[in-house]
Amino acid sequence: LIVNSSPPKLTSEDMIAAFSQAVDWAGCTIRAFAWHPHTSKFAVALLDDSIRVYNSNSATIPSLKHRLQRNVAAMAWKPLCASILAVACQSCVLVWHLDPTSLSTRPSSGCAQVLSYPGHSPVTSLAWAPSGEVLLSASPVNTAMLVWDVSTENCVQLQWFGGGGVTYLAWSPDGSKVLAAAPSAVFRVWEAQMWTCERWPTIKGRCQTGCWSPDGSRLLFTVLGASVIYSLSFSEYRGEMQGQVGGSKTASIVADLSETTFETLYGEERIGGEIHSMVWDPTGERLAVIIRGKKEVLQTVIAVFRTRNSPVFELLPCGFLRGECGAQPQLIAFHPCFKKGALLTVCWSTGKISHIPFFFMSAHVPCTSSSPSPVIASTSVCE
């Protein structure tokens, strides 16, 4: 008796859901989120394939729709620009050129530039260079990472052999290095001057998420299925090391977030599990992590850590964030230039978006921005 069984083919939606930074990309209302790097403006991608742009200085909420804008996996605003938004779609990358002073609620499809490349779909991750010159796009089925010059629509393919495509991209804030995670148990760190890379095999599984310190000297990353945070340090970028990434020999474990029992005022709580996504604030002082508990046994919570990168690296637990009853955290992001400390934005599974401030004095000023900070709304915070 011969049973002919082929492995089930992953559809594009399955792929995006598996590799997205959102906890429940397929079922939740909010699919992607992106803060503008200089102003208090953010874009939200919704389940109905539309994108809404909210601006604290304006009551108009433009809604962006395009026939090619389906299954949005990620979005990124162009740095050093008023309002250009890159959207990772099913079959292409859409770059919206919005008019910052327009009061229109439905910008026309003509404002969107289509960047497509054969075989590069679905696009699951995008990263702009901090100097705003090039855009990187990644797809899990394409072994080439594309470097786009958006204005001329030219792209350079950076190709390698083995390891599958690229699922997640993260560019260091100083512009020197790029993390490219693959669907297999390996990730690459590219240096952005001469575009050479270092290959890092992981033992247990693929790299799930990663984030950089503000000066690009440290990479924190997690591996799928594990509850630990790894740290990889890089020699400080001085500009004279062309063609060298400069990573250290091994990564070290800096935090273990497996299940533990905590004594709280409300009784015993079991918190812990796999790490789904991680973000580091631009001052380098707060780290937020979404911990995915086992379904129906543990809730999904956000853990916040106090961090410091110099003179030594320090990671101290700060507290946990939980939403209203029945609300699971979906996406997290820090505001790129909050002057009074750090502002964490959380998108919940109920469709609500809340902003949680952390007030502290920091030695690093993230950026100069003339727009005032937005009005803060907060949910319960347990310390």
Partner 1 sequence: SFYYMKGSCSPLNITPLYALSGLLLTDSVVFSVTSCVTVVLLQCSEQYFFLILDSFNDLYTSYVIFCILLMSVVILVISIFNVEFYAVVPSIPCSRLALIGKIIHPQQVIHSVAHAVMGMLVAWCAAVMTKGKFQFLAVPCTPSESLDDAVPQMCLNEHHLFFLLSGAFMGYSYSLLYLINNMNYLPFPVIQQYKYLRFRRSLPLLVKHTCVESLYFVRNFCVTYYFFGYIPKVWISTTMDLHIDSKLHPLDTLTGLLDLSLFYHAWLCGVFLLITWYIVFLCFALYNTTSDPTFAEETDQCLPKILNSNPPLIIKFLALQDLMLLSQYSPVRRQEVFSLSQPGGHPHNWTAISRECLSLLSDLTQRLIAQQEAAAANGRAKQPAGELKVTPQTPGMSNIAPRASMSSLVKSSLMPLKTSPGSDVGSPFSSPALSCKMGILDVNSPWHGSVQSSQVTRRGPKLWTSGSGRDSSTALEAVQPRVIYTWLQNKQQQNALISSQHPEASIQAVFSDAQMHIWALEGLSHLVAASFTEDQFGVVQTTLPAILNTLLTLQEVVDRHFKLPHVSSKPPRISGSLVDTSYKTLRFALRASLKTALYRITTVFGEHLNAVQVSTEHKKRLQQFLEYKE
- The residues that touch partner 1, with contacts defined as CB under 8 A, are 36, 38-39, 80-83, 97-102, 107-108, 110-111, 117-118, 131-134, 147, 149-159, 175, 193-196, 238-240, 242-243, 367-371
For partner 1, which is the closer residue by CB, 134 or 255?
Answer: 134
SS3 (DSSP) at 381: strand
Which is it for strands 51-55 and 41-46: parallel, antiparallel or unpaired? antiparallel
For partner 1, which is the closer residue by CB, 367 or 377?
Answer: 367
Cα–Cα distance between 286 and 280 in angstroms, integer? 6
For partner 1, which is the closer residue by CB, 190 or 200?
Answer: 190
Minimum distance between the CB of residue 159 and partner 1, rounded to whole angstroms? 6
Minimum distance between the CB of residue 146 and partner 1, rounded to whole angstroms? 11
For partner 1, which is the closer residue by CB, 57 or 264?
Answer: 57
Neighbours of 355 (CB within 10 A): 20
Cα–Cα distance between 350 and 33 in angstroms, integer? 15
CA 322 to chain centre: 20
For partner 1, which is the closer residue by CB, 253 or 365?
Answer: 365
SS3 (DSSP) at 19: helix
Minimum distance between the CB of residue 161 and partner 1, rounded to whole angstroms? 12
For partner 1, which is the closer residue by CB, 147 or 170?
Answer: 147
Residue 228 belongs to what H/E stretch?
A: strand 228-233
Q: Omega into 100 within 30° of 0, i.e. cis?
A: no
Minimum distance between the CB of residue 263 and partner 1, rounded to whole angstroms? 47
Cα–Cα distance between 94 and 148 in angstroms, integer? 12
For partner 1, which is the closer residue by CB, 273 or 366?
Answer: 366
Minimum distance between the CB of residue 344 and partner 1, rounded to whole angstroms? 23
Amino acid of residue 359: F
Neighbours of 151 (CB within 10 A): 9
Cα–Cα distance between 178 and 171 in angstroms, integer? 4
Minimum distance between the CB of residue 237 and partner 1, rounded to whole angstroms? 9
Cα separation values, 65 from 52, 173, 216, Å: 9, 30, 36
Minimum distance between the CB of residue 19 and partner 1, rounded to whole angstroms? 25
| Beta bridge mates, 42 | 35, 54
Six token digits for residue 156: 């350079």
Minimum distance between the CB of residue 239 and partner 1, rounded to whole angstroms? 5
For partner 1, which is the closer residue by CB, 51 or 134?
Answer: 134
